[in-house]
Chain A
């Protein structure tokens, strides 16, 4: 289930389950969104992106959904594996000229074998 910890929301799932991580973004003018995965002691790693003229994009085991009406982004991970355990950040780009990112708060995904 999902719980909100002192600083970071946490989603705990069993191996093989599908995971859904949600994100509310702030600026209706944002035109590009990225999901990053950050493992302990490492920098953020690109997972998947979506432009504002799309509402769904699929990758390998991952799908991103964009609902511009309510400024909501979600990341779906199919058949979650222990190696998926990490913190997941959504990020929106507000300034197309410099690709400056504004990150969401992040969600920690914990996958149990």
Chain B
């Protein structure tokens, strides 16, 4: 299995809602990432998990809360979001060892905050 899967594909939420984005990979990768991508812009790194521990937080607001329950799963919990948080949220994974490696991306979750 060489895929990164993400659910849901689309999500519409109000500013008072709590929702979660889910990401899963079964490639045995030990590094997982969350990116945010606005239209016609490159992906921007949000969080990096390495061996199930949060290793990088790119100064992301606390209304975004990542969680890595195990080496195959990565969640992003959303609470009290703003309309400007509407974007494509991408998950990626990489082997996490042996030097720099390519990241494999999921299809993303299209989030709309009303």
Residues of A at under 8 Å CB distance from B? 7-8, 31-32, 34, 36, 41-46, 49, 87, 89, 93, 96-106
Query: How far is it, in angstroms, between the C-alpha of A98 and the C-alpha of B51 when the chains are bound?
Result: 11
Q: Across the interface, do A49 and B107 meet the contact criterion of CB distance under 8 Å?
A: no
Whether a CB of chain A sits under 8 angstroms from the CB of B100 is: yes
Q: Across the interface, do A98 and B42 meet the contact criterion of CB distance under 8 Å?
A: no
Residues of B at under 8 Å CB distance from A? 4, 31, 33, 39-45, 48, 50, 55-56, 90, 92, 94, 96, 99-108, 110
Q: Across the interface, do B45 and A100 meet the contact criterion of CB distance under 8 Å?
A: yes
Residues of chain B with a CB closer than 8 A to A93's CB: 100
Question: If A44-B105, A98-B50, A101-B45 touch, does A32 touch B40 (CB 8 Å cutoff)?
Answer: no
Told that A7-B40, A89-B43 touch, could you supply 13 new A-B pairs with CB distance under 8 A? Answer: A8-B40, A43-B105, A43-B106, A44-B90, A96-B99, A98-B48, A100-B33, A100-B45, A101-B43, A102-B45, A103-B43, A106-B40, A106-B41
Query: How far is it, in angstroms, between the C-alpha of A34 and the C-alpha of B101 when the chains are bound?
Result: 9
Question: If A43-B90, A46-B102 touch, does A100 touch B43 (CB 8 Å cutoff)?
Answer: no
Q: Across the interface, do A42 and B42 meet the contact criterion of CB distance under 8 Å?
A: no
Residues of chain A with a CB closer than 8 A to B40's CB: 7-8, 87, 106
